[in-house]
């Protein structure tokens, strides 16, 4: 969760890139200065003091059964705490997540839903990083194409929705500019990094067994199975112009992301040679 505090700083500072006033911001997660934990509702109220707009990122995913009651309790508390605007990060093509979207839409507060495609950064900061470094991205993704999106583009859309006008009541389905299969994405990473990493297609059963063997919790294994079967069935295999409509510029291509990430050495340690 990210939060925007209502209290302006004594000395108004500006962003050197945009010359717009900087807004006071409070990070909301377990490691934040004021810790916020979705699994511990007693941490929610302190994090909301003085906040006027909140960005809700539920962990692990809005599609899990624990999400709707948590989102309901959180939005009710936010309204009582004086929050006026909510932006919810949701998953594109996840019908289960839409129960949570409706709770936010019915909260009585100004709302914006940002429904996102799969993040490009899954390969560098998330679940697939270690697979890339190991040289073999073995997943049951098949040849379904996905418009991977750069999380910096999501962040820019969210900041616009939190701070700008004209975004209330909008559902933005944000995607990257191009469809790639997982094999295409891994080939882009191999090209950008000059390292021998390849995509390997495995069955859903082998995938689930591997996760269980690695000690991944059963409910998380279920979530990953859901994401790789129901969500990755081709329903999201088209791009949208939402990023361009909100920001007035195109979203960043996966190739640019891969080049930038390769250059900072995130995939160092990956198998040498193509
Ligand atoms: N990954 C994708 O491709 C994708 C696509 C569409 C939508 N989404 C949505 O994006 C969200 C984040 O996904 P992700 O893949 O970025 O997950 P992630 O990498 O696991 O995100 C972890 C983040 O959540 C915080 N966090 C973890 N447990 C928490 C808890 N109990 N309470 C509060 N904060 C907690 C962590 O910070 P601390 O360790 O400091 O708590 C960390 O900042 C989910 O709602 C997911 O559905 C993801």
Per-residue pLDDT of 126-145, as tens digits, reads 999 999 999 999 999 999 99
Q: What is the dihedral of CA 55, 56, 60, 62, to 10 degrees?
A: -130
Residue with CA closest to ligand 1 atom 19: 126
What is the average pLDDT value for the chain, to the nearest integer?
93
pLDDT at residue number 115: 98
What mean pLDDT comes out for the span 114-118? Answer: 98
What mean pLDDT comes out for the span 153-172? Answer: 97
Report the Cα 137 to chain-centroid distance in Å. Answer: 20
Proportion of the chain above pLDDT 70, given as a percent: 92
Alpha carbon distance 111, 95 (integer Å): 19
Give residue 272 CA to ligand 1 midpoint distance, Å: 31
Q: Which atom of ligand 1 is nearest to the CA of 92?
A: 6
Alpha carbon distance 214, 220 (integer Å): 12
With tokens 């929050």, the residue in question is: 83
For residue 269, which of 143, 130, 163 has the smallest C-alpha distance? 130
Would the CB of 119 count as within 6 Å of ligand 1?
yes
Alpha carbon distance 137, 130 (integer Å): 9
Q: Which atom of ligand 1 is nearest to the CA of 63?
A: 47
pLDDT at residue number 5: 53
Could you give the count of Cα atoms lying within 13 Å of 160 in the half-sphere of its Cβ?
19
Least confident of 13-17, 20-24, 168-172: 13-17
Residue 6 has pLDDT above 50, yes or no: no
Is 58:97 a contact under the CB 8 Å cutoff? no
Would the CB of 31 count as within 6 Å of ligand 1?
yes
Residue 269 has pLDDT above 80, yes or no: no
Q: What is the reported pTM?
A: 0.93
Q: Higher pLDDT residue, 273 or 195?
A: 195
Q: Per the structure block, which two tokens stand in for 66? A: 């624990």
Q: Residue 274: pLDDT band by 50, 70, 90 thresholds? A: very low
State which of 32, 47, 59, 120 you would mutate to test the pocket of ligand 1, scoring each by most atoms of that ligand within 8 A of its C-beta.
59
Q: Residue 8: pLDDT band by 50, 70, 90 thresholds? A: very low
Is 114:102 a contact under the CB 8 Å cutoff? no
Give residue 265 CA to ligand 1 midpoint distance, Å: 23
Residues with Cβ < 8 Å from 53, sequence gap 6 or more?
A: 3, 4, 83, 84, 85, 86, 87, 162, 163
Alpha carbon distance 264, 257 (integer Å): 11
Q: Residue 158: pLDDT band by 50, 70, 90 thresholds? A: very high
Give residue 175 CA to ligand 1 midpoint distance, Å: 18
Q: Which atom of ligand 1 is nearest to the CA of 58?
A: 45
Residue with CA closest to ligand 1 atom 15: 126
pLDDT at residue number 4: 55
Residue with CA closest to ligand 1 atom 42: 29
pLDDT at residue number 9: 45
What is the tens place of the pLDDT at every residue in 57-97?
999 999 999 999 999 999 999 999 999 999 999 999 999 99
Would the CB of 91 count as within 6 Å of ligand 1?
yes
For residue 180, which of 146, 149, 150 has the smallest C-alpha distance? 146
pLDDT at residue number 14: 75
- For residue 204, count other CB atoms closer than 10 A to its CB: 14
What mean pLDDT comes out for the span 251-268? Answer: 96
Q: Residue 23: pLDDT band by 50, 70, 90 thresholds? A: confident
Residue 21 has pLDDT above 90, yes or no: no
């Amino acid at each position: 969760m990210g939060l925007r505090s209502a209290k302006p700083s004594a000395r108004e500072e500006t962003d050197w890139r945009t010359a717009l006033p900087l807004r006071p911001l409070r990070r909301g997660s377990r490691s934040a200065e004021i810790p916020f934990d979705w699994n511990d509702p007693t941490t929610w109220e302190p994090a909301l003091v003085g906040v006027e707009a909140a960005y809700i990122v539920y962990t692990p995913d809005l599609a899990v059964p624990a999400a709707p009651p948590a989102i309901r309790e959180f939005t009710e508390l936010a309204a009582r705490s004086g929050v006026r605007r909510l932006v919810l990060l949701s998953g594109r093509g996840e019908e289960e997540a839409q129960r949570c979207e409706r709770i936010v839409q019915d909260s009585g507060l100004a709302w914006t839903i940002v429904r996102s495609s799969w993040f490009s950064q899954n390969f560098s900061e998330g679940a697939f990083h270690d697979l890339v470094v190991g040289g073999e991205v073995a997943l049951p993704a098949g040849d379904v194409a996905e418009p991977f999106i750069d999380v910096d583009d999501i962040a820019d859309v969210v900041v616009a929705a939190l701070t700008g006008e004209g975004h209330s009541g909008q559902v933005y389905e944000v995607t990257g500019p191009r469809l790639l299969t997982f094999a295409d994405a891994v080939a882009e990473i191999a090209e950008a990094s000059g390292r021998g990493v390849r995509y390997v297609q495995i069955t859903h059963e082998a995938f689930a067994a591997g996760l269980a063997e690695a000690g991944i919790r059963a409910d998380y294994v279920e979530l990953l199975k859901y994401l790789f079967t129901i969500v990755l069935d081709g329903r999201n295999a088209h791009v949208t112009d939402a990023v361009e409509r909100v920001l007035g510029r195109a979203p960043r291509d996966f190739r640019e992301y891969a080049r930038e990430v390769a250059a900072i050495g995130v995939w160092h340690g990956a198998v040498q040679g193509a």
